[in-house]
Amino acid sequence: ELGEFEHYMLKEIFEQPQSIENAMRGRFNEDEATAVFGGLNMSAKDIRKVDRIVLTACGTSWHAGLVGEYLLEEFARIPTEVEYASELRYRNPPMSENTMIFAITQSGETADTLAAMRECKRKGHPTLAICNVVGSTIAREADGGIYLHAGPEVGVASTKAFTSQVTVLTLLALYFGRMRHLSYPAGSRIIRHLKEMPRIIEETLKCHEMVKYVADKYAKNNNFLYLGRLYNFPVALEGALKLKEISYIHAEGYPAAEMKHGPLALVDEVTPSVFVVPKCGIYPKVISNLEEVKARKGPVIAIACKGDDKIAELADDVIFVPDVEEYLQPLVTSIPLQLLSYHIALHRGCNVDRPRNLAKSVTVE
């Protein structure tokens, strides 16, 4: 089953060109420049009424939700919140009548996500699932939903499910956007870019050798910071979670500009900062955050776009990824971070597929 791969995690990382393709299959309507979903079980009229979206999830799925929030607000202009399911289930936030809920979950069995979903459903909100495991409890109990079609994810660390969730959330933003303010040409452009992603992910995976070199160099460090802004802030959180989870290394993710509000005090010669800094509207701002770290002698590993010559002068090590539209960057920038945590874990002799203290589906609260 593992084929040429030593671990499920690596196999699943390398499956991403295919899993992303599968998440999109049959979900474009190119004539109308929008996305289509078979299982939302709601009329266009009801969906048109939605004026607020709540995304609820745990762990990596929650990080995908954060990317979803940025996508939905940018393309559909619908106010969107992302709630930890474990908090939402016991909180009682005011929710307008036309609030729609999406539970995001790979397994469809996470106890907190299920409980948060049931609470929202009981209150009468349309409650849908973005789920991988067909026929799982959350998939069955939701009013409708969207399957990831990522295939089984065996490694405890979620990898391909994350990029599939982000892909589906991009399709959702396109769908909601085209019901509102997004023009036909803008919708067509998004479809064109999305369709290129499987090939671009294939290209991204070529960073593997460089990631191995970086993992070699830093595997003994005991603290890491992960920094990114806008679409790459959730990627920083996800990179840090991956490292904690399978390498047992203390890592923290932050929006890069938050550094001076506290975390900068952690920077020293043995605390590497992983900067997710592809080309974007606020690239110069992220660079100045990076320079603040360098000025304190912190080693910097940058995830940057191919062709970015400037970054090579500033960072200690650079892992290059293809240049894509800002809203698609999480799909490419998350991949070297998955690989980095994998190789560092190998160096440290950790069980990458079955990390200590963790389970693939967390069915207890």
Distance of closest approach, residue 256 Cβ to ligand M6R, in angstroms: 23
Distance of closest approach, residue 260 Cβ to ligand M6R, in angstroms: 29
Ordered alpha helix ranges (H), the chain:
8-14, 16-24, 44-49, 59-71, 85-88, 111-122, 137-141, 160-178, 184-204, 208-218, 233-247, 283-295, 309-314, 329-347
- In a 3-state reduction of DSSP, which class is residue 148? coil
The residue count for binding ligand M6R (CB under 6 A) is 16
Distance of closest approach, residue 27 Cβ to ligand M6R, in angstroms: 20
Site string for ligand M6R, 241-270 (x = CB under 6 A): x---x-------------------------
Nearer to ligand M6R, 241 or 328 (CB): 241
Write the secondary structure of 71-109 as one string of H (helix), E (strand) and C (coil): HHHHHHCCCEEEEEHHHHCCCCCCCCCCEEEEEEECCCC
Return d(Cα 55, Cα 136) in angstroms, integer. Answer: 19
Residues 155-194 that bind ligand M6R (CB under 6 A): 156-158
Distance of closest approach, residue 63 Cβ to ligand M6R, in angstroms: 8
Q: Under a CB-based contact definition with an 8 Å cutoff, are residues 275 and 229 in contact?
A: no
Nearer to ligand M6R, 348 or 360 (CB): 360
Nearer to ligand M6R, 7 or 178 (CB): 7
301 binds ligand M6R (CB under 6 A): no
Distance of closest approach, residue 353 Cβ to ligand M6R, in angstroms: 11
Query: What is the token pair recorded at 23?
Result: 């998440």
Catalytic residue among 121, 279, 285, 360: 360
Return d(Cα 232, Cα 283) in angstroms, integer. Answer: 11
Distance of closest approach, residue 276 Cβ to ligand M6R, in angstroms: 17
Nearer to ligand M6R, 62 or 320 (CB): 62
Residues 93-112 that bind ligand M6R (CB under 6 A): 105-107, 110
Return d(Cα 75, Cα 182) in angstroms, integer. Answer: 7
CB count within 10 Å of CB 58 equals 20
Would you give the distance in Å from CA 26 to the centre of its chain? 22
Closest residue by Cα to residue 335 from 55, 16, 59:
16
Distance of closest approach, residue 105 Cβ to ligand M6R, in angstroms: 3
The residue number whose beta carbon is nearest to ligand M6R equals 59
Read off φ and ψ for residue 274, nearest 5 degrees.
-95, 110
Return d(Cα 287, Cα 177) in angstroms, integer. Answer: 32
Query: What is the token pair recorded at 272?
Result: 């590497």
Nearer to ligand M6R, 154 or 179 (CB): 154
115: left (phi over 0), alpha (psi -120 to 50) or beta: alpha
- For the question of residue 360 being annotated catalytic, the response is yes
User: Which residues lie across from 252 on neighbouring strands?
Assistant: 225
Site string for ligand M6R, 30-69 (x = CB under 6 A): ----------------------------xxxx--------
Return d(Cα 237, Cα 330) in angstroms, integer. Answer: 11
Nearer to ligand M6R, 59 or 278 (CB): 59
Residues 311-340 that bind ligand M6R (CB under 6 A): none
Nearer to ligand M6R, 157 or 207 (CB): 157
Catalytic positions, written as ranges? 360
Residues near ligand M6R (CB under 6 A) are 58-61, 105-107, 110, 113, 156-158, 241, 245, 361-362
